Structures are given as structure tokens and as C-alpha cells.
Amino acid sequence: MEFTAKAIAEFLQGEVVGNPEVKVNNVAKIEEATPGTLAFLSNPKYNKYLYTTEASIVLINLDMELEKEVSTTLIKVENAYESFAKLLELAEQARPVKQGISELAFIEKSAKIGDGVYIAPFVYIGENVVIEDNVKLFPHVFIDDNVTVKKNTTLNSGVKVYHECKIGENCIIHAGAVIGSDGFGFAPDENNVYRKIPQLGNVIIEDNVEVGSNTTIDRATMGSTIIKKGVKLDNLNQIGHNVQIGENTVIAAQSGVAGTTKVGKNCQFGGQSGLAPHIQIADGVKVTPQAGIPNSIKQPGSIVMGTPAFNIREFQKSFIVYKQLPDLFKRVKELENEIKRLKGE
């Protein structure tokens, strides 16, 4: 599909600078764009590409001041990044909608299937499962007994949902994710042999949650592991048993949250961060990549860094000293030698 700059500007409530009739049919990075594509610019590091890009249209922030003339058509908007995301959503919605139930899917007779669903070949749906309207299940999805998947949710290829789990509305679960596998529960006996503790709970995923590829969310020992509405989990995350993740918290790839930890709402965790078990994280906490959190963080809005993690300002000051340790050690040795010499005299 093609769109003119004028039509895009009207949709985004932006201002056209240049040819309002120029057309685009694809999107691209500003530094790699070709004629017929649309790009965006929100990071000042990429400003130089605005004057050399071959993109037919570029979205820019309304307050951006041009250093020289540009050859491309501009659309000025309040937030170029957000506006670009809206256009991508529009393009996604324009894709053909898959519907229908494949004859190669296996659905137990007691399962309830809503209207407008898509169930691909080689999907398995167990006893007493409820699949609500407009759910999409792609090939090799496995849904165990007594699971509920609410309307407009998508489970991509290879997703596994264990028994009794509940997934809310408008969720996206990416390929290979496992929802409801057993929590890591073992108890040593008198011979120091580890005995498995049965995991009798489930996982509850609320509305508007996105779970990345190959992420695992363990079922609770008792009760529920709960992922609150609006949470975004990146690929390759591990969420332990009885964990609670608060609303609109985001966790980047390769991070781990150990069992029974409670994370507040609107938190942000960088990639490869790790949380110890049985701790609590206050609302709005920000954690830098590769940080290790051994203890509760009680102050809302804290920013922490390092392993073990502590306040980012204090960490940065400490790191300055850390980098100087070889020189400080050398100076201490010189002082020791000088003291010995003076004592000898």
C-alpha cells in the first residue's frame, strides 16, 4: 500500500514541510533509506543523516532546528519515535487476518472455542480449555487442560502453556515461551538427597502483556505466579515460582527473577540483570544491565547499578576509585619502602 505525506501527516496530526504528494510504500532506517521509504529521526546522534538520506519522507520532532536545507519531505510531529510506532501499528493492522481451524489441529471435545479464532496445524488444545474470541494459535502451540486464553491474544509457534494457567486479553506470547512449568522446588532429606516439592499453583498473565521468545514463567508452588497488566518481558527471561511482576514493568533479555520476589509497577530492568529470591522491589525502580540485586529496594524511583547493586551515583564514584587502585597500590608500596628506609637511618 502507498501513502502520501499529506495522508500520513493528517493521521499523525503533523505538519508537512516539502512535497505533500510524495508517496511511500515501506519504512527504513534513516541511514539506510531508499526512495519510496519513510524514516524517522528522534536521536540527535543521527541528525547528520537527515541531510544525506534518500528517504522520501522523514518524521522529525516539531522542535528540531535544521542546520541546512534538506532534499526530503519532512513531517513535523510532537514525538517522532512515538509517531513512527503508530505507523508501524497501522501497517501491522493492515496485514491479512488469519482465521479458521485447521483439520490438522487436535482439540479435545470439552474445550470451548470462541468466534473468529485461528488455530493452525499441529496445535493441541486439552480438556476444558477456554479459547475466547479472535485468539490466534500458531503451529505447534500446546495448551494443557483447564487453561483459559482470553480474547485477541496471540500465541506464536511452539508456545507451551501448562495446566490451569490463565492468559488475559490482548497478550502476545512469542515463539518457544513456556508458561507454567514447575518452579525450582526441592528439599534435601536426611541423606542429603533432593526430593521434588510438588508445584500445585499456576501462572496468571493479565491483559496487554508481551512475553518474549524462549522466556519461561514458572508456576507457583501454591497460589499463583502473577504477571500484571502491561508487563513486557524480553526474550530468554526466567521468572521463578510465586513471583509477582507489577503493572507496566519491563525486563530486558537474559534476566532472571528468583522465586517469591515481588516487583513493583513501572520498573525497568536492563539485560542480564538478576534478582535474588524473597525480596521486594519498590515502584519505579530502574536497574542497569548486568546488575545483581541481593536485597529489597524500598525507595521508589531508585536507580541502581553493579553487583551487588546500589545507588548509581555512589557506584559511579566508587568505580572512579576502583580504576585508580593499581596506581594507589603502587604509591602505597613506595611509601612503605620510604618508611623502611627512614627507620633504617
Range list of H helices, the chain? 5-12, 80-93, 312-323, 325-344
The partner residues of 130 in beta bridges, in order of sequence, read 112, 148
Q: How many C-beta neighbours within 10 Å does residue 304 have?
A: 22
| Sign, Cα dihedral of 14, 17, 19, 25 | negative
Decide: 75 and 58 in contact? Cβ < 8 Å. yes
Q: Are 196 and 185 contacting, i.e. CB atoms less than 8 angstroms apart?
A: yes
C-alpha span between 139 and 151 (Å, rounded):
19
State the Cα–Cα distance between residues 227 and 259, nearest whole angstrom: 13
281: part of which helix (H) or strand (E)? strand 280-281
CA distance 250 to 234: 8
Per the annotation, the verdict on 278 as an active-site residue is: no
Say which of 140, 163, 174, 241 is annotated catalytic.
241
Q: State how far the Cα of 177 lies from the Cα of 155, in Å rounded to an integer.
A: 9
Q: CA 128, 132, 137, 142: dihedral to nearest 10 degrees?
A: -20
Question: Nine-digit cell at 72?
Answer: 526530503
- Find how far residue 126's CA is from the centre of its chain: 29
Please state, in angstroms and rounded to a whole number, the distance separating the CA atoms of residues 345 and 338. Answer: 11
* Active-site amino acid positions: 241
